[in-house]
């Protein structure tokens, strides 16, 4: 039992360190070979650093400090929106479908799901009872990181919404949580439609060029 008790906190730390690395790596990748102005790339990098900082501020503060989740929700929402715009723009300007392009498309989809999980978790601290059933009783004096087992269910729910599966084991109960859930359910198919449209169009264009060269 002692081994399990020690392993779970390490897994929680690793999960949120992974969130930080994904955000920072994505911002670095998205400014590489970017055609945007230097000030735009610098602002985008700064937003990534700020988003990671707000996440750790939220993780290390007690649950009773409910408004610590607001900067997280705002910064990560803006970051993922800006990232998706940059990704789709880069896809549209790519001349051929490559492995890097496909990996970028996959990373963008996962980034939307991870961000939705963070925003929903922050919303649960701002408005307790936003998602049910969750067992957060008696955790007000604990930090979010110490009670992250309860929030792992919300991250699972975020990907359920993103993929529009809808198992029904977790439900949004308040207006804001329902709005975020609906927005996530709409964002997933829209992203896939936009990205698949660009990729298929680029692939068809490559085939036409190959046929003309024969």
Name the nearest CA neighbour of 106 among 90, 119, 87.
87
Give the model confidence (pLDDT) of 3-51 as tens digits.
333 344 555 666 667 667 766 666 665 555 556 677 777 888 888 888 8
pLDDT above 90: percentage of residues in the chain: 8
Q: Which pLDDT tens digit goes with each residue over 144-186?
A: 666 666 677 888 899 999 998 888 888 899 999 999 999 999 9
Structure tokens at 27: 């911002």
Tell me if 153 sits within 8 A of 170, measured CB to CB.
yes
CA distance 53 to 43: 15
Q: Can you tell me which residue has the tokens 């198992």?
A: 167
**Could you give the CA distance from residue 20 to residue 52 in angstroms, rounded to a whole number?**
6
Q: pLDDT per residue over 110-131, tens digit each?
A: 888 888 988 888 888 888 888 8
Q: Which of 61, 42, 35 is nearest to 142 (CA)?
A: 61
């Amino acid at each position: 039992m002692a081994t399990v008790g020690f392993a779970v906190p390490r897994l929680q730390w690793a999960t949120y360190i992974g969130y930080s690395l994904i955000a920072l790596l994505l911002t670095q990748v998205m400014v590489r070979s970017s055609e945007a102005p230097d000030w735009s790339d610098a602002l985008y990098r700064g937003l990534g650093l700020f988003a990671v900082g707000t996440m750790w501020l939220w993780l290390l503060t007690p649950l009773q400090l409910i408004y610590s989740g607001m900067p997280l929700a705002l910064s990560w929402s803006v970051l993922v929106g800006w990232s998706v715009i940059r990704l789709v723009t880069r896809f549209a300007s790519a001349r051929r479908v490559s492995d890097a392009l496909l990996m970028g498309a996959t990373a963008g989809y996962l980034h939307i799901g991870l961000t939705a999980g963070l925003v929903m978790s922050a919303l649960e601290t701002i408005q307790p009872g936003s998602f049910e059933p969750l067992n957060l009783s008696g955790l007000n004096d604990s930090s979010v990181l110490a009670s992250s087992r309860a929030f792992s269910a919300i991250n699972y729910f975020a990907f359920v919404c993103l993929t529009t599966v809808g198992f029904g084991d977790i439900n949004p109960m308040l207006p804001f949580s329902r709005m975020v859930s609906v927005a996530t359910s709409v964002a997933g198919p829209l992203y896939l439609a936009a990205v698949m449209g660009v990729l298929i169009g680029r692939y068809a264009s490559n085939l036409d060029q190959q046929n003309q060269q024969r």
